[in-house]
Amino acid sequence: MKPIEFVEFDLSNGLHCIVHENHDTPIVALNLWYHVGSKNEHPERTGFAHLFEHLMFQGSRHVGKTEHFSYIQKAGGNLNGTTNEDRTNYFETLPASELKLGLWLESDRMMSLDVSAENFENQRQVVKEERRLRYDNAPYGTVYEHLHKHAYIKHPYRWTTIGSMEHLDNATLDDVQNFYKTFYAPNNATLVIAGDVNPDKAREAVEKYFGEIPRGASFERPIDDDLPLVDEIRQTIYDNVQLGGVFMAYRICNVKSPDADTLGLISRVLSDGRSSRIYKTLVHEKRLAQSVNIFSAPAEHQGLFFVNLIAAQGVSLDTLEKAFDEELHQLITSGVSEEELQKVKNANEVALLRGFSTVMSVADNLAYFHTFFGNAGEINQELQKAERVTTDEIRRVAERYFTSGRVVLHWLPK
């Protein structure tokens, strides 16, 4: 893969900007990352980072409520925002001629978001309804909430980004306004511009629209100091589901650890495609599971490795869990063959290349590597990192992370 080239600069207020020039198509992508996620919340005020994913579209000094959408869409662009434990991002894809429109919109809400009582109350109700629909009243909707709660002892990853209904109810306008003032500041943000753009002109435009925004006050970030997960924690939950399921979580490393790449390949060995170990054995041959989904989720701090197994009709969850454990034990003790490892490396390479196929995906990756690695240039090391993984490394990493503590949930129909 051809190296991805970019230039970087900082404004005096702390905003870090990355520009990737690509003239293949006449479009430009803006991706603004704020280094704030659910782990930055107070334990009694969870859900704020996700709440702001909604509030950031409710207007600012020069932009009316929901007008951010209409401006972008009328210009022929699209937009969205996402939140996780570690960061919140807002992004637009626009015709290249509309770069300044995107910069103006993002700078206006960074400087002067309308965090009013009316907007707060309106979006609090929207988020509460989203929680009801996607979590509380959805089949298996609170699986990850339970897994996180038990997989961490004191670290703020123990709650999920949707937050608590009780905490949203108890939140005050001052709580929300203080969260905005603390975290939505230029010195806590990374702006990536990618596409049909001249880097010098882009810098001039960024200086114009963001240069006068005041620097935010300093704040303490959470540290990765949780106690190790050494025991097996088990829970049985009855829910409105048709089929039972076994859901597991293992505590793993952070994204900067070399083990992260190995764990990603292990997840592919286990459940990536019909020829993967768990799918082939539990779904196709033994017909114990209707579906399997296994994935590694390293984070800025210690992440989790998830195992999701939905049982076939009439299969006991004990039988399903035992069959999975046998396959995992086989991986730990015997590892993988060179052929099997090369197969998942090839699949990983295809996925990475697809992930760099648009200017927006490149922008997102540049922001990711700058925010979590402190070096956007890591984007050009992704293929090599996975390629260096050996069969011995697969076995070592599997033994390290899958032989100590874990969380096991048995999810049963009521």
AA letter at 174 = D
152 & 253 share domain:
no
157 & 32 share domain:
yes
Q: What CATH number is given to the structural domain containing 202?
A: 3.30.830.10
Separation CA 332–CA 399 (nearest Å): 5
306 & 159 share domain:
no
197 & 238 share domain:
no
Within a domain: 218: no
Q: CB of 28 within 8 A of CB of 102? A: yes
Separation CA 317–CA 327 (nearest Å): 16
Separation CA 50–CA 87 (nearest Å): 10
User: CA torsion angle for 135, 138, 140, 142 (degrees, to 10)?
Assistant: 20
| Domain housing 331 | 232-413
Average pLDDT over the chain, rounded to an integer: 97
Within a domain: 221: no
Residue 371's nearest CA partner among 191, 235, 237, 209 is: 191
164 & 58 share domain:
yes
Tokens of 217: 């006050």
Tokens of 413: 């129909």
Percent of the chain whose pLDDT exceeds 70: 100
Strand partners, 10: 16
CB neighbour burial string for 197-221, b if at least 16 within 10 angstroms, e if fewer: bebeebbebbeebbeebeebeeeee
* Residue 162 in this model has a pLDDT that exceeds 80: yes
Separation CA 340–CA 360 (nearest Å): 32
Distance of CA 360 to the CA centre of its chain: 16
173 & 262 share domain:
no
Within a domain: 225: no
Per-residue confidence (pLDDT) for residue 2, from 0 to 100: 85
362 & 267 share domain:
yes
Per-residue confidence (pLDDT) for residue 131, from 0 to 100: 96
pLDDT in tens, 137-154: 999 999 999 999 999 999
AA letter at 170 = N
The length of the chain, given as a count of residues? 414
404 & 274 share domain:
yes
Among 210, 243, 270, where does a domain finish? 210
Please count the structural domains in the chain: 2
pLDDT in tens, 315-339: 999 999 999 999 999 999 999 999 9
136 & 247 share domain:
no
153 & 257 share domain:
no
184 & 256 share domain:
no
* Residue 383 in this model has a pLDDT that exceeds 90: no
Within a domain: 1: no
35 SS3 class: coil
Separation CA 301–CA 329 (nearest Å): 27
Within a domain: 191: yes
Within a domain: 216: no
CB neighbour burial string for 355-389, b if at least 16 within 10 angstroms, e if fewer: ebebbbebbbbbbbbbbbeeebebbeebeeebeeb
Within a domain: 217: no
